[in-house]
Amino acid sequence: MPEKNRVLVAMSGGVDSSVAALLLQEQGFELVGVTMKVWDYEGSGEVAVETSCCNLDSVHDARALAVKSGFPHYVIDLRETFNDHVIQNFISEYLSGMTPNPCVLCNSFIKWRALLEWADKLGCSHIATGHYAVVGNERGRYFVSKGKDDVKEQSYVLWGLSQENLSRTMLPLGAMSKDKIRQIARDSGFDRIAGKRESYEICFIPDNDYRKFLKFRAPEATAAIGKGEFRLADEQVVGQHEGYPYYTIGQRKGLNIALGEPYYVTATDPANNRVYLGKKEELSKSLLWIRNVNFQKYAEISPGMEVITKIRYKDPGTRSRLYPEGEEIRIEFENAAGAIAPGQSAVCYEGNDIVAGGIIERSE
């Protein structure tokens, strides 16, 4: 039987997860630390560059903190699962004209699943991570709420967590600021960890060049796509592009085309290898539909429920209403939202609490 005072802590070797462990130990919990190895940079060819994720230094830092603090530490090899479910999905989504969010998929279906499995093996009742968010519980429902630090707040990437996931999850950093977290690490004698740089890139694309990654991991598919036409909404051909997977809705930079004024990617047509361009106002949409819906705060919602919907990680959110339609939810914005990219996540909040989230299917 899992022990109620025993917690499995996910430790990346960074300052956030390290301080999460320190805080829980200070609160009297018995800890077991685990580092998840999801990506191997050795032998990764042209995409191998310095990264703060999954390298040996990070593993050593996590283990050193665990040893100094007096609790056991394990390394979990998730590379095969991560490749099969996250990386292959990332590639296939781009090749189908979508813009995926691998962090959401990884959290919901890889990391939490693995952590809970290991928690059961090691007799832990709960798992903990260094995310800047809060787990709430009202009327028998668990949900994620926004963290205190507006800059670091990470609730958006946790919309896919199930009730079972959340019932066993602890997020010790939710009510703290990044500056405070770094100070705790320094005060605890971990200056090296406290001084680590922030990591904003996708863990398996540390140079932030997903186009190069696609060419490296799917050379035949990307070569077969080849170059295509840039078109305007009226089908006027205005130039040539490098291939539709390399463009995302709302993109302005890197188009290498001069039309006298700013133009943005408004849509892609994978079937014909076309990329459509338009002015900024053409990006505005009043409706979107999400699939793979996960409900958090409520088991179901009433048609017309008012929420704030975020359509990307750093989006401040737009007032909107929700209308269930079978397996999907239709979201109607009070004021049109811009640059809605199919494949990204839309997350709906009531105040600071996640009501529901899903993958953007389409918009109009």
How would DSSP label each residue in 227-256?
-EEEE-TT--EEEEES-GGG--TT--TT--
Percent of all residues in the chain with a pLDDT value above 70, rounded to a whole number: 95
Boundaries of every domain in the chain: 3-130+172-194, 226-278
> Number of helices (H) and strands (E), helices first, in the chain?
11, 17
Q: Which pLDDT score is estimated for 44?
A: 44
Q: Which pLDDT score is estimated for 46?
A: 43
224 against 108, higher pLDDT: 224
At 18-75, the pLDDT tens digits run 999 999 999 999 999 999 998 875 444 444 444 445 578 889 999 999 999 999 999 9
Using CA atoms, how far residue 112 sits from 2, 94, 144, in Å, is: 17, 25, 14
278: three-class secondary structure by DSSP: strand
Res 117 pLDDT > 90: yes
State the SS3 of 303-361: CCEEEEEECCCCCCCEEEEEEEECCEEEEEEEEEEECCCCCCEEEEEECCEEEEEEEEE
Q: Which pLDDT score is estimated for 47?
A: 43
Q: Give backbone dihedrals phi and psi of 250, rounded to 5 degrees, phi first.
A: 95, -10
d(CA 232, CA 277) in angstroms, rounded, equals 5
| 226-278: CATH topology | SH3 type barrels. (2.30.30)
131 CB contacts (<8 Å, ≥6 apart)? 16, 147, 154, 157, 158, 171, 173, 174
d(CA 281, CA 58) in angstroms, rounded, equals 44
Q: Which pLDDT score is estimated for 45?
A: 45
Determine which of 30-34, 78-82, 161-165 has the lowest per-residue pLDDT on average.
78-82
At 236-248, the pLDDT tens digits run 999 999 999 999 9
Q: Which pLDDT score is estimated for 41?
A: 56
Is the torsion defined by CA of 196, 55, 64, 111 positive or negative?
Answer: positive
Check 53, 54, 103, 106 and give the catalytic one: 106
Is 103 a residue of the active site? no
Which ranges of the chain does DSSP label H, i.e. alpha helix?
Answer: 15-26, 56-69, 79-82, 88-95, 102-106, 112-121, 163-167, 178-187, 191-194, 210-217, 219-225
pTM of the model: 0.93
CB 112 within 8 A of CB 167: no
Q: Strand 237-241 to strand 228-231: parallel, antiparallel, or no bridges (unpaired)?
A: antiparallel
Mean pLDDT, all residues of the chain: 93
Tokens read off for 57: 């230094």
d(CA 167, CA 164) in angstroms, rounded, equals 5
Rounded to 10 degrees, the C-alpha dihedral 113/346/99/91 comes to 10
At 167-197, the pLDDT tens digits run 999 999 999 999 999 999 999 999 999 998 8
d(CA 183, CA 168) in angstroms, rounded, equals 28
C-alpha distance across the termini of the chain, in Å: 51
As a whole number, mean pLDDT of residues 204-223 equals 92
As a whole number, mean pLDDT of residues 147-153 equals 91
Q: Which residue has the tokens 């690490």?
A: 185
Res 110 pLDDT > 60: yes
CB 94 within 8 A of CB 149: no
As a whole number, mean pLDDT of residues 297-310 equals 97
Q: Which pLDDT score is estimated for 2?
A: 63
Give the residue among 230, 236, 227, 271 at the shortest CA–CA distance from 251: 230
Q: Which pLDDT score is estimated for 147?
A: 95
CATH class in words for 3-130+172-194: alpha beta
Is 106 a residue of the active site? yes
d(CA 18, CA 174) in angstroms, rounded, equals 14
Percent of all residues in the chain with a pLDDT value above 90, rounded to a whole number: 87
As a whole number, mean pLDDT of residues 270-299 equals 97
At 119-142, the pLDDT tens digits run 999 999 999 999 999 999 999 999
Check 53, 103, 203, 348 and give the catalytic one: 203
Cα 360 to chain center, whole Å?
Answer: 14
Determine which of 86-90, 206-210, 290-294 has the lowest per-residue pLDDT on average.
206-210
Res 210 pLDDT > 80: yes
Confidence class for position 200, pLDDT limits 50, 70, 90: low
